[in-house]
Each structure stands twice: as C-alpha cells, then as structure tokens.
Structure 1
C-alpha cells in the first residue's frame, strides 16, 4: 500500500511538537526537583532564630545566629556535630542520648539544667533540625556595647589559645562523668591511643578511669598511668570543683616516676648492703622522715620495723628512743626539745658525735652526717665492750702505777722506740721532776741528759741509751754511778717484753763505793751530751 507523499510534512511537524513538549516537561521536572530540595533544607527562620540543619554529622544549613554560635566552638578537626556538642553538652547533658532516638521519635525537646534555654530537635526526610530557644535572650539584654563585646571576644580568644597551647592535659566533666570540654593536648593523646583514628565523635574517649578520679583525695596528687602504643605514660593528676562540674589537669610525670623508681632501687640496694653491717644506720630525708634504716639499727635501739616503715619524723624517732630509755635522759622536756634541735643542726653541719651512756649499762657512739639533697644520717655503734676493755686496761695501769709508787727504787720504763711510758714517785723525787711532765713525750735522750746533769761524768748514760734502742735479744745488766751530792746509786737495766726497757735507781748502802759499770762497755768515761 502506498502512502501519499503529502502526509510527510504533517508527520515531521507532529514529531517536532512532541520533542519540544517532552523537553519542556523535563525542564519542569528538574525545576520542581530543585525547588523540592531547596524546600527540604530551607530553615524558614527569623533573623534571631538559632537553627541548625544536619545530615548525619554534617551541617547542611544554619541560621546566621547559629553559624555565629558554632564559630565559637574549638576546631580540632572534628565533625560539625562534635563541635556543636562541645558547646551544648554543659547546658544539655542528655543531648547525645536524646539525639540517638530522634529518628524513631521524630521530635525531641530538652530543657537546660538551669531552665534558661530550650532545645528542640525534629526529624524530617532524613535531616535533623535543631532549634535553640534562649528564654533570656530578649532584645534589650542582647544589645551589648560594641566595645564591651570586642573586649569579651579578645579575652575569650586569649583564654582559648592559652588552653589549647598548654603542654598538659585539661578537661572538664559533668557530675555524671560526661566530658564537656578538652584541650588540644588531651585530644592529641586520644588520637595517639586510637592508633590514628580521628576523634570525630563527641564526647572524646575517656583516658583515665572514673573510679580512679573519684578516689582522689583533695590534697593528694597521685601518679596515674595511661597505656599508649609506645608504652605507659604517667601523669600527675589534679582536680578542682567548679560548681556542679569538675576541672581536671594531668601533668606529664614520666621523668618523676622514673626518678622515683631509680631512687627506690638505690634505696633497696643500699638496704641490702647495709643489712650485713654490725652498726646501726638510719637516714632521714630533707623533710626529716625516715628514708632508710638497716636491721642493726632496730636491734640496737629496740625500735620495731613496723614503726620505722611508717616513715616517722626525726622528732618521733627520738621521742620513741627516749620512751624506751635508749638515749640519755634529759633533765626536763624543754631541754630535751632544745637538745633535739641542736642535734639536727649539728648533724647537718657534720659535727655531731656523742657517746650515749644508757641506763642499762650499754654505751653507744652516735655520729650524725649530712647527705645529698638535705638528708641526714646517723650511725649507732655499740662500744660497750670497747669501753669496758678500756676501763679494765686503765684500771690495770692504775693498779700497776700504784704498785710502782710503793717501791723505794726509782723506776723508769721506756717503750721500744725510746719513749718514757711509766715512772714512779721515787723516780720523780730522785731526779726532781713532775711525773706528768716526765711522761709528756719524754724520750731516752731527754732522760739521760737529765740524769747526766745531776750526776758525775760517766759513759753509763750512753750505754743505757744504746741499750734502750738496741733491737733483738738483750741481756739485763747493772751499773753504779754517783750524784753530785755524793750519793751513790745502783742502776738496774732490764729488758722487758716487746722491746721495752726498765731502768731502776737504788741508793747504795755506802756512799764511799767507787763508780762501777758492769756493762759490756764498762769503764769511766767523760761524755758530752
């Protein structure tokens, strides 16, 4: 069947009209879609409204007042929603929990804990519309003097920059533990612990256990560790109550903790070393509290380790020693306290050394010495046996001296190196000397000069001096001489143990006896002294 050629012009005209119509409809559809999207994100606000429109955590629109409010939030790389939460959580503590249920409820209203503001949240077509109504924001109190506002903004900027650049951690919590603000150092540590994951959520991750924070005493600053990928980091925590909120600061204390651990190791090493010593040792730190002591100190003073491990002060230790009668009893308490003060001062200067004679008969030598960093240490030595031996030795010497003084023979005893160590009353009377003066570093040469000056010339004195200094085995011998007053003396030179020599002078019965010398060098001689 053949179509008439005259129909084609009409077909072309119809097709063109159809295409134009289709294009118009497409343009109208696109225009309607853009209009619908604009209506979807439109706020329909007045100029004073504070309205935010969020698509998940991203803000897609906001009123001018809302934008000004959000600009005051710290920008630490978090999401828009996290920044807004940092501003609103202090006034609306339940905001995070309420917004999680917004999609199901469709509408949420929260009142500020002070009652001065109201927050409305609405869910519409996948977007969250948040409106903040401030009951106190009237036109009258909203108009602030421009210069006052500038000063407030400068102060706010100064405080913000100060907090953000502080090298220590600072954060603020509500009464229920919700973190409402944290500085850059805190958030940086959160990033470090999160192994590179950004901190877009708010509130940020808690670094310190809440129970630990609540157990902190007001005046105590405990060291608390935080585990990080590079190992534990230690912080010195501080807490301050600000109304219903709490402000925490955490100062890095890694070096302090390491130094304290090193100090404890040194103390333990010293304690082990000193535990084998027989003398008592106790060390007080710069605050005069017990820092170190060894077992011998407890044995000597009868102070229990339980008492010493509590870290008592120097005064408390001395008081305990006084109560246990382990130190000399003062006349009264006032003089006792004065004695403690003098003891501490002398120990610091390194000149305290005393002998304590105790009621039980024991005798202690106590020495105080200064140590590094203002510490002082005391050494306690039991010298009871030493003092008893000294007393016995002194008693024996006094007994021997008394025996010598009863003899008529004038006796002088010389040590192996020729020092006069003992003489009797008869010797002092014969040679006209004071016994104490004669023992004051008098040697054989001084003694023989004295004897020579009071007797006739003779070589006897050289022989006696040589015999006194003669080493090895010696044989005793006797001789005689005559004094200038005509009296004849019999001389006895006797070798004693350990190289000592006894020289005895006795008056002879007849003053007419000739000078005789039975020494190996016998014979009268004139010798110049």
Structure 2
C-alpha cells in the first residue's frame, strides 16, 4: 500500500464519521422541533392541569380559585357552601387541619402533609392568612415524580366513567357506608350516611362527621366482623347489620338495613314464647328430637310424668339414651330381654319418623301411658306421653258395667228388645234370640221376621201398629200367636229419647209366683212319699 492510498482511506473514514454525527444532530434537532410543533397545545393543557389547587376565601366566602380547584368544587355536590365543600374534601386527608384552620388568625400560616393512603398519598396543604380577612389555601403534591406523564383520552374517559359509576352506586345504595381511621373518626361517607347524619344534626354538619352507629371492632387477622346496631332518631329506632373490613390503617364500614329481620326475629321469639307457655301448661309430656335424635325441647309435664332428672334433660340426650333412662326408672313396659327391648324402641323411632304412631304402655307400677310419635319438618320427631290410667280405669269399669247389664238381661226369662227412634235395634237378650233366632238389625226387618214365622192375626197387627206409629201412649200390651203356635203376650213401653222397649212373655211365665211355689212344694212332697 502506498502513502497516497493510506491518506485517501483515512480521509474517507473521517468524512463518513462526520456525516453520521451530522445526521444524528439533525435528527435530534428535528425531533425536538417536531415535538414542540406537534404538542404545543397539549403542553399548554398539561401545564394547566399540573398547576396547584389554590382557593382564596374571605370570611369563608370563595373569592377566587384556580381551574383545578374549581373542578374539584364542581365534583363535590353537597353541601351548597364552598367552604364546607373544601372542608369535606380536606377532612379525610388531613384529619387535624379543620381544627387548626379555626386558629389561622393566631398562627398566620399552617402547613400539613396528608396521611399515606389510597388517593391521598403525601399531599401537602398550605394555609396562609393574607390579611384583610383573606385566607389562601394551596394543595400540592410535592412528590409528583410522574407529573409529566400524559394519559390518553380514552383511558382517562374510561377511568372517569368507572369512577362516576362507583360514586353513583354508593350514593344510591340504601345501606350506610363510611370509612374511619384508627381513632374511629369518620373520614368518608356515602349519601345515605350523610342524609341520616343531617337528619340527626338538624341539617348542620361539621367535620369530622358524627359517628352514627356503635360499630363492631374488627378482630385482628379475622378479615371482617359483623354485629347488629340500633340508630335512634326522634324516638324511632332503626336496626342495621354492621360489617367491617380492614384496609390498611383505615376501616370500611357497611351497615345494611335490618328492620325487617328484627321484626321477623321478634315475631318468631314471641311465637316461641307463646308456644313455650302453652307447652308448660299442657298435662301431656312433650319431647322433640332433631334429625340427629338429640332432645331439643321438652316441657315440665315430661318431668312430672316420667320422673326424669332436669339436669339429664337439659344435657340434650339422644332418644335412645332417654329411653334407656326410662327403662332404669321402670317407666316403660317390662321387656322379656334387652334385645327385644332395643328392637321395640327402634321400631317405635322408625314408625314415629315415617308417620303417626301410637302405643299404650302398661307400666309395672300400675300406670298406663299412651306414647304418640309424630314426624316434624327437617327430619325431627316429637313424642307425647299421656297418663291414661284414669281413662283406662273408667273404660274398664264401664265395660264391666255393660257386661253386668248384659248378664242381667240374659237372666230374665222374658224376651226383650230395644229399638231406637230410627228403628235400629239397640239391644236384645238371650231369651229374645232363643225365641226368634238371629236378631234383625232394624224394626222393619224384625217385623218381617216375626210375620214369616207366625200366623199373623189381629194381635200381630196391633203390635205392628203400636211399634210403627208414634203416639203418646206410655205403655200398651196385647197377645198374638207365638212361633211355636202357642199364645205369646207382648208389651211395648216408651223409654227416654224416643226409644221403645218390647217384651214378649209366654203364658206360663205369667202365672202367680205364689201358686208356682205351692205347686213346687206339692211335687216335692209327692216325691218324698214315693221314696
């Protein structure tokens, strides 16, 4: 390579490097100029958006405000006073500033930094007394590192729409929603809360907002907690179910109206109390078991009837534990063996669970109990214990008296039959059945039966007329041909309730008893002489 060739190469290299540097410089200049040309209007708007919020008040009347400040006031719909609007917005972010603003005449200047939290991190407010009753309040963000970032209009519109939707939803909800700090000061509230607070405060609200409800304290680590609280206003009490949710050093509170639930619970409680009083006065022992067959409800009569200890019943024993305890107290029928006893009690439980079931227990002590089982909703079952000893005794006595009366009627030689007013045969004795055979069920059938077995004459016609026709005659009698062809006397007597007593008597039974005794003695004397 010659010297001339080397010089040419170096010259070309230096020219190329210079061209690249010149092109880079031109591009940078073009980019800065173009950005300025293209974004001049946007830069102006950005500068407008980044200017601080400044309010100028004279005796709590707004004199002037920057554009962001006026935008803020326009988004706070209530209250109507601008000073109250500013305090409402500042209060949650600077809790102690409201009280310090009242001392601005003495302090001259107040500077405060907002608490760390969602939407209000590290905000700074400066309040200055300018004299002549002028107060300047400036709100800035000293850590706006990203203040130059511009959000595209579509994203901004979407965020604003979502924010507006959330605001409207919270303001239209009937439940009370508010936020409170660690000192339990209300730092934010929705429209429903503000309305209730205004109603209690006669329309005048200050900051911080009053706390309306005795709210639950959240348990650390539990997330949420719930309790019921009452709110009284002019003698009217409203109930709310309060839920709390921890959010950093703040607590979100939600109070749902619970008046309907409270009324329903009160009605249910009163109904249960009424049932409890009714059960307590019942002479029938009551025991209600749930679907797991644990005792849930019993009344004092159960203790009186069974002798079960109160402590045993309040411990909510199972059904089979209760039955085993009754077996120990000899308050169940004496079983032949334990296996048959368990099977009998299992059958009792299954029958009571599937439908109405009733048993009669004859106890070793001579008492008689009726045990009734009924199914209840959700698989529960109820058992009722009734002492029917007196009822059983009365029934047995009545049956014995009926049996005695039947024996007495059967011992009478006359054939007797009693007919109801509708002609139904109520009663007959053995002599009647021997005379006419199987008794007919009605008077008409009986007349047909009699007529078929005898030679119906004037006596039978008179008897039929007497039985089928209603008259006031208390007693009537006559005679007719009997089924054996002999003479048969009849007598019809009126009984109470329109019933009629019919009596048939053979002629030999109508003879004088004294003559019958004399004839009997004569026959006996003849028998002794013959011997």
Counterpart in the other structure of 2:447: 448
Contact in 2 for aligned 1:116/1:134 (Cα 8 Å): no
Counterpart in the other structure of 1:148: 155
Q: Secondary structure at the match of 1:396?
A: helix
How far the C-alpha of 1:503 sits from its partner, in A, is 4.2
Deviations 1:266-299 (A, max 9, x none): 8889999x699877699x9xxxxx9x99998997
Q: 2:177 aligns with which of 170, 176, 188?
A: 170
Deviations 1:430-483 (A, max 9, x none): 4342x6xx4xxx233321221121112134444445269777784585745232
Supply the distance in 1 between the matched residues of 2:98 and 2:317 (Cα, whole angstroms): 56
Counterpart in the other structure of 1:120: 124
1:184 aligns with 2:187: no
How far the C-alpha of 1:207 sits from its partner, in A, is 1.8
Counterpart in the other structure of 2:247: 243
How far the C-alpha of 1:128 sits from its partner, in A, is 5.5
Cα 1:416/1:110, change in 2 over 3 Å: closer
Report which of the two has the higher share of helix: 2
Gaps of 5+ in 1: 1-44, 285-289, 344-351, 371-376, 511-529
Q: Secondary structure at the match of 1:125?
A: strand
How far the C-alpha of 1:322 sits from its partner, in A, is 6.5
Cα 1:419/1:367, change in 2 over 3 Å: farther
Contact in 1 for aligned 2:114/2:120 (Cα 8 Å): no
Counterpart in the other structure of 1:513: none
How far the C-alpha of 1:392 sits from its partner, in A, is 2.8
Q: 2:146 aligns with which of 111, 129, 138?
A: 138
Q: How does 1:322-471 map to 2 (within 5 A)?
A: 331=343, 338-339=350-351, 341-342=353-354, 357-358=360-361, 361-363=367-369, 385-401=390-406, 410-415=415-420, 418-424=423-429, 427-428=432-433, 430-433=435-438, 438=440, 442-465=441-464, 466=466
Counterpart in the other structure of 1:206: 211
Cα 1:269/1:278, change in 2 over 3 Å: closer
Counterpart in the other structure of 2:18: none
How many residues align? The count is 428
Cα 1:74/1:64, change in 2 over 3 Å: closer
Q: What is the TM-score of this pair, normalised by structure 2?
A: 0.58
What is the root-mean-square deviation in Å for CA atoms of aligned residues? 5.9
Contact in 1 for aligned 2:215/2:227 (Cα 8 Å): no
Supply the distance in 2 between the matched residues of 1:396 and 1:163 (Cα, whole angstroms): 83
Counterpart in the other structure of 2:79: 77
Q: After the TM superposition, which of the residue ranges 186-195 and 148-157 deviates more from structure 2?
A: 186-195
Counterpart in the other structure of 2:486: 488
Cα 1:380/1:405, change in 2 over 3 Å: same
Q: Secondary structure at the match of 1:202?
A: coil
Q: 1:226 aligns with which of 231, 242, 246?
A: 231
Deviations 1:205-257 (A, max 9, x none): 2222346999xx978663x443334x314133231415344443445556776
Cα 1:299/1:180, change in 2 over 3 Å: farther
Cα 1:178/1:278, change in 2 over 3 Å: closer
